[in-house]
Amino acid sequence: MKIASIRTFKFWVDWCNWLLVRVETDEGLFGWGEGSLHGSIESVETAIHELSAYLIGKDPLGVERHWHGMYHAWRWRGGAVLMTALAALDLALWDIEGKRLGVPVYRLLGGPYREDFRCYASHWLGGVQTPAEAEAGAREAVRRGFTAFKWSPFNRRLLQENEGQALRRATELMEATRAGAGPDPDIMIECAELLSPRTAVLAAQALLPYRPYWFEEPIPFENARAMAQLQRDLPVPIATGERLLSRWEFRELLEEQGCRIVQPDLMHAAGITECRRIAALADTHYVSVAPQNSESPIETLAAIHLAASIPNFLILEQMENEQDARNRICTDPPLIDRGHFTLPTKPGLGTDIHLDAVAELSFKPQGVSNSTESLWR
Protein backbone atom coordinates (compact mmCIF):
# COMPACT_ATOMS: atom_id res chain seq x y z
CA MET A 1 0.00 0.00 0.00
CA LYS A 2 1.31 3.44 -0.95
CA ILE A 3 0.11 7.00 -0.32
CA ALA A 4 -1.16 8.18 -3.70
CA SER A 5 -2.58 11.68 -3.11
CA ILE A 6 -3.40 14.30 -0.50
CA ARG A 7 -6.51 16.46 -0.87
CA THR A 8 -7.57 19.51 1.16
CA PHE A 9 -11.00 21.03 1.77
CA LYS A 10 -11.49 24.42 3.42
CA PHE A 11 -14.81 26.02 4.33
CA TRP A 12 -16.45 28.46 6.74
CA VAL A 13 -18.50 27.30 9.75
CA ASP A 14 -20.07 29.80 12.16
CA TRP A 15 -17.05 31.88 13.24
CA CYS A 16 -14.00 30.39 11.50
CA ASN A 17 -12.77 28.28 8.61
CA TRP A 18 -12.15 24.56 8.88
CA LEU A 19 -9.44 22.82 6.84
CA LEU A 20 -9.87 19.07 6.40
CA VAL A 21 -7.24 16.83 4.85
CA ARG A 22 -7.77 13.48 3.13
CA VAL A 23 -4.73 11.24 2.65
CA GLU A 24 -5.53 8.63 -0.03
CA THR A 25 -3.77 5.37 -0.83
CA ASP A 26 -3.46 3.38 -4.03
CA GLU A 27 -5.64 0.63 -2.49
CA GLY A 28 -8.63 2.90 -1.87
CA LEU A 29 -8.04 3.32 1.87
CA PHE A 30 -7.97 6.92 3.10
CA GLY A 31 -7.64 8.86 6.33
CA TRP A 32 -9.00 12.20 7.54
CA GLY A 33 -7.04 14.88 9.36
CA GLU A 34 -7.60 18.53 10.20
CA GLY A 35 -5.43 21.65 9.95
CA SER A 36 -7.73 24.55 10.80
CA LEU A 37 -5.84 27.67 11.92
CA HIS A 38 -7.51 31.04 12.38
CA GLY A 39 -6.32 33.60 9.87
CA SER A 40 -3.50 31.53 8.36
CA ILE A 41 -5.41 28.60 6.97
CA GLU A 42 -4.19 29.06 3.39
CA SER A 43 -0.60 29.03 4.63
CA VAL A 44 -1.32 25.72 6.38
CA GLU A 45 -2.85 24.35 3.19
CA THR A 46 0.30 25.27 1.27
CA ALA A 47 2.50 23.60 3.90
CA ILE A 48 0.40 20.42 3.75
CA HIS A 49 0.91 20.18 0.02
CA GLU A 50 4.63 20.88 0.43
CA LEU A 51 4.82 17.93 2.85
CA SER A 52 3.08 15.73 0.31
CA ALA A 53 6.46 15.42 -1.41
CA TYR A 54 7.65 13.49 1.65
CA LEU A 55 4.59 11.23 2.02
CA ILE A 56 3.43 10.40 -1.50
CA GLY A 57 4.79 7.06 -2.65
CA LYS A 58 5.46 5.81 0.89
CA ASP A 59 3.63 3.08 2.78
CA PRO A 60 1.52 4.84 5.47
CA LEU A 61 2.62 2.19 8.00
CA GLY A 62 4.70 3.60 10.87
CA VAL A 63 3.06 6.84 11.95
CA GLU A 64 5.80 7.71 14.45
CA ARG A 65 8.46 7.27 11.77
CA HIS A 66 6.55 9.50 9.38
CA TRP A 67 6.04 12.11 12.12
CA HIS A 68 9.80 12.42 12.60
CA GLY A 69 10.39 12.44 8.87
CA MET A 70 7.93 15.28 8.35
CA TYR A 71 9.09 17.22 11.40
CA HIS A 72 12.67 17.20 10.15
CA ALA A 73 11.69 17.77 6.53
CA TRP A 74 11.87 21.52 7.13
CA ARG A 75 15.16 23.16 8.02
CA TRP A 76 13.21 25.79 9.98
CA ARG A 77 11.07 23.64 12.25
CA GLY A 78 8.16 24.68 14.42
CA GLY A 79 5.72 27.55 14.27
CA ALA A 80 1.94 27.40 14.18
CA VAL A 81 1.64 26.97 10.41
CA LEU A 82 4.11 24.11 10.03
CA MET A 83 3.06 22.27 13.20
CA THR A 84 -0.61 22.52 12.21
CA ALA A 85 0.19 21.07 8.78
CA LEU A 86 2.12 18.25 10.45
CA ALA A 87 -0.79 17.64 12.84
CA ALA A 88 -3.29 17.35 9.99
CA LEU A 89 -1.24 14.66 8.27
CA ASP A 90 -0.47 12.86 11.52
CA LEU A 91 -4.19 12.54 12.34
CA ALA A 92 -4.89 11.21 8.84
CA LEU A 93 -2.12 8.61 9.11
CA TRP A 94 -3.49 7.33 12.43
CA ASP A 95 -6.93 7.13 10.81
CA ILE A 96 -5.52 5.02 7.97
CA GLU A 97 -3.65 2.72 10.32
CA GLY A 98 -6.74 2.08 12.43
CA LYS A 99 -8.79 1.33 9.32
CA ARG A 100 -6.11 -0.95 7.89
CA LEU A 101 -6.09 -3.04 11.09
CA GLY A 102 -9.84 -2.74 11.66
CA VAL A 103 -9.58 -1.15 15.12
CA PRO A 104 -10.24 2.29 16.65
CA VAL A 105 -7.14 4.47 17.00
CA TYR A 106 -7.20 4.30 20.81
CA ARG A 107 -6.56 0.54 20.55
CA LEU A 108 -3.31 1.35 18.75
CA LEU A 109 -2.41 3.74 21.59
CA GLY A 110 -2.95 1.21 24.39
CA GLY A 111 -6.46 2.27 25.43
CA PRO A 112 -9.12 2.58 26.44
CA TYR A 113 -8.67 3.79 30.00
CA ARG A 114 -12.33 4.83 30.03
CA GLU A 115 -15.47 4.55 27.94
CA ASP A 116 -16.98 8.00 28.31
CA PHE A 117 -15.45 11.44 28.46
CA ARG A 118 -16.82 14.35 30.42
CA CYS A 119 -17.20 17.48 28.32
CA TYR A 120 -18.12 21.11 28.86
CA ALA A 121 -20.14 23.48 26.72
CA SER A 122 -17.48 25.81 25.33
CA HIS A 123 -17.87 29.45 24.26
CA TRP A 124 -21.10 29.43 26.23
CA LEU A 125 -23.08 32.55 27.19
CA GLY A 126 -21.70 34.46 24.21
CA GLY A 127 -23.12 37.97 24.02
CA VAL A 128 -24.56 37.90 27.54
CA GLN A 129 -25.00 41.44 28.88
CA THR A 130 -27.14 41.17 32.00
CA PRO A 131 -27.26 38.95 35.10
CA ALA A 132 -30.71 37.73 34.04
CA GLU A 133 -29.30 36.55 30.68
CA ALA A 134 -26.35 34.89 32.42
CA GLU A 135 -28.60 33.05 34.84
CA ALA A 136 -30.90 31.85 32.05
CA GLY A 137 -27.96 30.70 29.92
CA ALA A 138 -26.43 28.75 32.79
CA ARG A 139 -29.76 27.09 33.43
CA GLU A 140 -29.94 26.10 29.75
CA ALA A 141 -26.51 24.43 29.85
CA VAL A 142 -27.64 22.29 32.78
CA ARG A 143 -30.91 21.50 31.01
CA ARG A 144 -28.91 20.15 28.06
CA GLY A 145 -27.15 17.72 30.38
CA PHE A 146 -23.80 19.49 30.84
CA THR A 147 -22.12 19.36 34.21
CA ALA A 148 -19.67 22.08 33.15
CA PHE A 149 -19.45 25.04 30.78
CA LYS A 150 -16.91 27.73 29.87
CA TRP A 151 -17.53 31.41 29.32
CA SER A 152 -15.92 34.84 29.74
CA PRO A 153 -17.43 37.42 32.10
CA PHE A 154 -14.85 40.04 31.08
CA ASN A 155 -15.55 42.96 28.78
CA ARG A 156 -12.42 44.13 26.95
CA ARG A 157 -13.48 47.73 26.42
CA LEU A 158 -14.61 48.15 30.00
CA LEU A 159 -11.38 46.66 31.33
CA GLN A 160 -9.50 49.29 29.38
CA GLU A 161 -11.69 52.19 30.48
CA ASN A 162 -12.67 51.36 34.06
CA GLU A 163 -11.07 48.35 35.69
CA GLY A 164 -13.08 48.52 38.90
CA GLN A 165 -16.37 48.70 37.05
CA ALA A 166 -15.30 45.82 34.78
CA LEU A 167 -14.52 43.58 37.74
CA ARG A 168 -17.80 44.48 39.47
CA ARG A 169 -19.69 43.65 36.30
CA ALA A 170 -17.85 40.33 35.95
CA THR A 171 -18.66 39.50 39.57
CA GLU A 172 -22.34 40.29 39.15
CA LEU A 173 -22.53 38.14 36.02
CA MET A 174 -20.66 35.28 37.68
CA GLU A 175 -22.95 35.42 40.71
CA ALA A 176 -25.98 35.11 38.42
CA THR A 177 -24.30 32.33 36.43
CA ARG A 178 -23.70 30.31 39.58
CA ALA A 179 -27.28 30.89 40.67
CA GLY A 180 -28.55 29.58 37.34
CA ALA A 181 -26.22 26.58 37.27
CA GLY A 182 -26.74 25.58 40.87
CA PRO A 183 -24.04 24.49 43.33
CA ASP A 184 -22.62 21.46 41.52
CA PRO A 185 -21.77 22.25 37.85
CA ASP A 186 -18.26 23.47 37.13
CA ILE A 187 -17.83 26.88 35.54
CA MET A 188 -14.62 27.53 33.59
CA ILE A 189 -13.50 31.13 33.08
CA GLU A 190 -12.10 32.01 29.65
CA CYS A 191 -9.67 34.89 30.15
CA ALA A 192 -8.31 34.89 26.55
CA GLU A 193 -5.07 36.61 27.67
CA LEU A 194 -7.02 39.74 28.59
CA LEU A 195 -5.51 40.18 32.03
CA SER A 196 -2.19 41.15 33.56
CA PRO A 197 -0.73 39.30 36.56
CA ARG A 198 -2.15 42.02 38.82
CA THR A 199 -5.65 42.13 37.37
CA ALA A 200 -5.82 38.34 37.19
CA VAL A 201 -5.35 38.10 40.95
CA LEU A 202 -8.00 40.77 41.55
CA ALA A 203 -10.42 38.99 39.24
CA ALA A 204 -9.82 35.60 40.83
CA GLN A 205 -10.37 36.99 44.31
CA ALA A 206 -13.62 38.61 43.18
CA LEU A 207 -14.97 35.44 41.51
CA LEU A 208 -13.71 32.96 44.10
CA PRO A 209 -17.01 32.77 46.08
CA TYR A 210 -18.68 31.34 42.95
CA ARG A 211 -16.15 28.50 42.57
CA PRO A 212 -14.51 29.01 39.18
CA TYR A 213 -13.13 25.68 37.99
CA TRP A 214 -10.17 27.24 36.22
CA PHE A 215 -8.85 30.49 34.75
CA GLU A 216 -7.92 29.77 31.13
CA GLU A 217 -4.95 31.69 29.74
CA PRO A 218 -5.24 34.63 32.14
CA ILE A 219 -2.08 36.24 30.71
CA PRO A 220 -0.17 35.79 27.42
CA PHE A 221 1.33 32.33 27.13
CA GLU A 222 4.89 33.14 26.03
CA ASN A 223 6.45 33.68 29.49
CA ALA A 224 6.33 30.41 31.44
CA ARG A 225 7.95 31.91 34.53
CA ALA A 226 5.41 34.71 34.69
CA MET A 227 2.62 32.14 34.37
CA ALA A 228 4.20 30.08 37.15
CA GLN A 229 4.43 33.08 39.46
CA LEU A 230 0.80 33.88 38.73
CA GLN A 231 -0.22 30.29 39.53
CA ARG A 232 1.47 30.68 42.91
CA ASP A 233 -0.45 33.92 43.52
CA LEU A 234 -3.78 32.79 42.09
CA PRO A 235 -6.36 31.01 44.30
CA VAL A 236 -7.75 29.29 41.18
CA PRO A 237 -6.11 26.62 38.95
CA ILE A 238 -4.66 27.90 35.69
CA ALA A 239 -5.41 26.02 32.46
CA THR A 240 -3.19 26.87 29.51
CA GLY A 241 -1.27 25.48 26.57
CA GLU A 242 -3.55 25.71 23.54
CA ARG A 243 -0.93 27.85 21.76
CA LEU A 244 2.07 25.72 22.71
CA LEU A 245 3.15 23.52 19.83
CA SER A 246 5.39 20.73 21.13
CA ARG A 247 6.73 18.92 24.19
CA TRP A 248 9.71 21.27 24.12
CA GLU A 249 7.42 24.28 24.55
CA PHE A 250 5.46 22.56 27.35
CA ARG A 251 8.62 21.51 29.16
CA GLU A 252 9.42 24.87 30.74
CA LEU A 253 5.80 25.51 31.69
CA LEU A 254 5.61 22.17 33.51
CA GLU A 255 9.04 22.41 35.11
CA GLU A 256 8.17 25.86 36.44
CA GLN A 257 4.80 24.53 37.74
CA GLY A 258 3.01 27.15 35.67
CA CYS A 259 -0.44 25.54 35.63
CA ARG A 260 -2.61 22.77 37.04
CA ILE A 261 -4.18 21.79 33.68
CA VAL A 262 -2.50 21.67 30.27
CA GLN A 263 -4.56 22.11 27.11
CA PRO A 264 -2.60 20.87 24.09
CA ASP A 265 -4.48 21.33 20.83
CA LEU A 266 -4.04 18.18 18.75
CA MET A 267 -4.54 20.24 15.60
CA HIS A 268 -1.66 22.62 16.38
CA ALA A 269 0.63 20.63 18.70
CA ALA A 270 1.63 18.28 15.88
CA GLY A 271 -1.14 15.71 16.21
CA ILE A 272 -1.82 12.60 18.26
CA THR A 273 1.81 11.52 18.12
CA GLU A 274 3.18 14.63 19.83
CA CYS A 275 0.23 15.17 22.18
CA ARG A 276 0.74 11.70 23.65
CA ARG A 277 4.26 12.79 24.57
CA ILE A 278 2.98 16.04 26.05
CA ALA A 279 0.44 14.10 28.13
CA ALA A 280 3.16 11.75 29.38
CA LEU A 281 5.36 14.71 30.29
CA ALA A 282 2.46 16.34 32.15
CA ASP A 283 1.84 13.10 34.02
CA THR A 284 5.34 13.21 35.48
CA HIS A 285 4.35 16.54 37.05
CA TYR A 286 0.91 15.27 38.19
CA VAL A 287 -0.78 17.75 35.85
CA SER A 288 -4.12 16.93 34.20
CA VAL A 289 -4.77 17.13 30.45
CA ALA A 290 -7.83 18.84 28.99
CA PRO A 291 -7.21 18.74 25.23
CA GLN A 292 -8.32 21.77 23.26
CA ASN A 293 -10.77 20.63 20.57
CA SER A 294 -12.73 23.63 19.37
CA GLU A 295 -12.84 22.97 15.62
CA SER A 296 -14.37 20.24 13.43
CA PRO A 297 -15.50 16.75 14.49
CA ILE A 298 -12.22 15.33 13.14
CA GLU A 299 -10.26 17.14 15.84
CA THR A 300 -12.86 16.23 18.47
CA LEU A 301 -12.69 12.54 17.56
CA ALA A 302 -8.89 12.65 17.62
CA ALA A 303 -9.04 14.24 21.09
CA ILE A 304 -11.39 11.49 22.27
CA HIS A 305 -8.96 8.80 21.08
CA LEU A 306 -6.12 10.58 22.88
CA ALA A 307 -8.24 10.94 26.04
CA ALA A 308 -9.06 7.23 25.92
CA SER A 309 -5.37 6.34 25.95
CA ILE A 310 -3.89 8.52 28.71
CA PRO A 311 -4.27 8.25 32.50
CA ASN A 312 -4.33 11.98 33.27
CA PHE A 313 -7.27 13.05 31.08
CA LEU A 314 -9.58 15.61 32.72
CA ILE A 315 -12.27 16.95 30.36
CA LEU A 316 -13.00 17.84 26.71
CA GLU A 317 -14.82 20.76 25.17
CA GLN A 318 -17.95 20.70 23.07
CA MET A 319 -18.80 23.55 20.73
CA GLU A 320 -22.48 23.10 21.42
CA ASN A 321 -23.63 25.94 19.17
CA GLU A 322 -21.98 24.26 16.15
CA GLN A 323 -23.53 20.84 16.71
CA ASP A 324 -25.80 21.01 13.66
CA ALA A 325 -22.89 21.79 11.30
CA ARG A 326 -20.80 19.01 12.81
CA ASN A 327 -23.58 16.49 12.41
CA ARG A 328 -24.23 17.60 8.84
CA ILE A 329 -20.72 16.94 7.53
CA CYS A 330 -20.04 13.67 9.41
CA THR A 331 -21.25 10.17 8.71
CA ASP A 332 -20.67 9.32 12.38
CA PRO A 333 -20.35 12.51 14.47
CA PRO A 334 -19.10 12.32 18.06
CA LEU A 335 -21.97 11.28 20.31
CA ILE A 336 -22.84 13.02 23.58
CA ASP A 337 -24.90 11.46 26.35
CA ARG A 338 -25.66 13.47 29.51
CA GLY A 339 -22.65 15.74 29.12
CA HIS A 340 -20.21 12.97 28.14
CA PHE A 341 -18.75 11.96 24.79
CA THR A 342 -19.10 8.23 24.20
CA LEU A 343 -16.27 5.96 23.08
CA PRO A 344 -16.11 5.56 19.28
CA THR A 345 -16.19 1.94 18.10
CA LYS A 346 -15.55 2.13 14.35
CA PRO A 347 -12.04 1.65 12.89
CA GLY A 348 -9.68 4.60 12.69
CA LEU A 349 -10.95 7.90 14.03
CA GLY A 350 -14.48 6.62 13.47
CA THR A 351 -16.10 8.80 10.81
CA ASP A 352 -16.12 9.72 7.16
CA ILE A 353 -16.98 13.17 5.77
CA HIS A 354 -19.95 13.97 3.53
CA LEU A 355 -18.15 15.75 0.70
CA ASP A 356 -21.43 16.98 -0.75
CA ALA A 357 -22.23 18.73 2.54
CA VAL A 358 -18.74 20.26 2.61
CA ALA A 359 -19.19 21.51 -0.95
CA GLU A 360 -22.20 23.55 0.18
CA LEU A 361 -20.05 25.52 2.66
CA SER A 362 -17.91 28.25 1.12
CA PHE A 363 -14.50 29.49 2.25
CA LYS A 364 -14.20 33.03 3.68
CA PRO A 365 -10.84 34.81 3.93
CA GLN A 366 -10.19 35.63 7.56
CA GLY A 367 -8.07 38.65 8.36
CA VAL A 368 -5.73 39.39 11.23
CA SER A 369 -7.50 40.04 14.53
CA ASN A 370 -6.39 41.82 17.69
CA SER A 371 -8.97 39.96 19.77
CA THR A 372 -6.35 38.53 22.12
CA GLU A 373 -4.48 41.75 22.77
CA SER A 374 -3.79 41.79 26.50
CA LEU A 375 -4.19 44.66 28.92
CA TRP A 376 -0.83 45.54 30.42
CA ARG A 377 -1.69 47.82 33.30
| Short-list 144, 138, 142, CA closest to 174 | 138
CATH code for the domain in which residue 210 is found: 3.20.20.120
Q: What is the pLDDT of residue 41?
A: 87
Residues 285 and 300 in one domain: yes
CB neighbourhood size of 65 (10 A): 11
What was the pLDDT predicted at 320? 86
Instruction: Answer yes or no: are the C-beta atoms of 281 and 250 closer than 8 Å.
Output: yes
170/280 same-domain check: yes
Q: Of 103, 134, 154, which residue constitutes the final position of a domain?
A: 103
Number of independent structural domains in the chain: 2
Q: Are 8 and 48 in contact (CB under 8 A)?
A: yes
341 within domain boundaries? yes
Is residue 84 domain-shared with residue 141, that is, in the same domain?
no
In angstroms, the CA 168 to CA 138 distance is 19
**What local confidence, expressed as pLDDT, does residue 275 receive?**
97
Find the domain containing 192 and state its range.
107-349
Q: What are the angstrom distances between the C-alpha of 206 and each of 273, 294, 332?
A: 40, 28, 43
Domain-embedded: residue 371: no
Residue at a domain's end among 62, 80, 103 = 103
125 assigned to some structural domain:
yes
Query: Are residues 117 and 43 both part of a single domain?
Result: no
**Same domain, yes or no: 18 and 128:** no
pTM over 0.85: yes
DSSP string, 132-185: HHHHHHHHHHHHTT-SEEEE----HHHHHH-HHHHHHHHHHHHHHHHHHH-SSS
Residues 215 and 150: their CA atoms lie apart, in Å, by 10
Indicate if 115 and 85 belong to the same structural domain. Answer: no
Q: What's the pLDDT score for residue 368?
A: 61
Question: Final residue of a domain: which of 46, 71, 103?
Answer: 103
Residues 93 and 48 in one domain: yes
One domain, residues 113 and 99: no
138 and 62 in a common domain: no
Query: 377 in a domain, yes or no?
Result: no
Residue 359 lies in a domain: no
Asked whether residue 373 is domain-assigned, the answer is no
Residue 130 placed within a domain = yes
Within a domain: 363: no
pLDDT of residue 317: 94
Contacts within 8 Å (CB) and 24+ apart, 41-44 = 41/10, 41/17, 41/366, 42/10, 43/81, 44/19, 44/81, 44/84, 44/85, 44/88
Are 90 and 189 part of one and the same domain? no
Give me the residues of the chain with pLDDT under 50, please. Answer: 370-377
Same domain, 42 and 164: no
Note whether 344 and 274 are same-domain residues. Answer: yes
